[in-house]
Amino acid sequence: DPPYKNTHKYKVDFNYENFYEWCGKQKQLVIISEYAMPQDRFVCVAQKEKRSLMCKDDKTTKKIEKLFIPKHQYQIYLGE
């Protein structure tokens, strides 16, 4: 589960482009929890509204957390 993009900074830098490329090469199912992913490479398979605990301004802020899989895995694993 990589750090969410465009959110609270972590102690290490994370190269999202390299991660997206890595996901595109995987044969085993990859599930990513994130708020948004590149639509040309990933498909949202589930979503849920949740309260953001890392938000400094307002502890009642709600966001839509989503689960994504790489597009090339969608047909294989979900068969739709």
Does residue 1 sit in helix, strand or coil? coil
Lookup: tokens for 17:
């482009």
pLDDT 10s digits, 28-67: 999 999 999 999 999 999 999 987 665 555 556 788 999 9
Alpha-carbon torsion (22, 26, 32, 35), positive or negative: positive
Q: Output the average pLDDT for the chain.
A: 85
User: Contact, 69 vs 43, CB < 8 A?
Assistant: yes
Task: Report the predicted TM-score, pTM, of the whole model to 2 decimal places.
Answer: 0.79
User: Contact, 46 vs 78, CB < 8 A?
Assistant: no
Report H helices in the chain.
16-25, 71-78
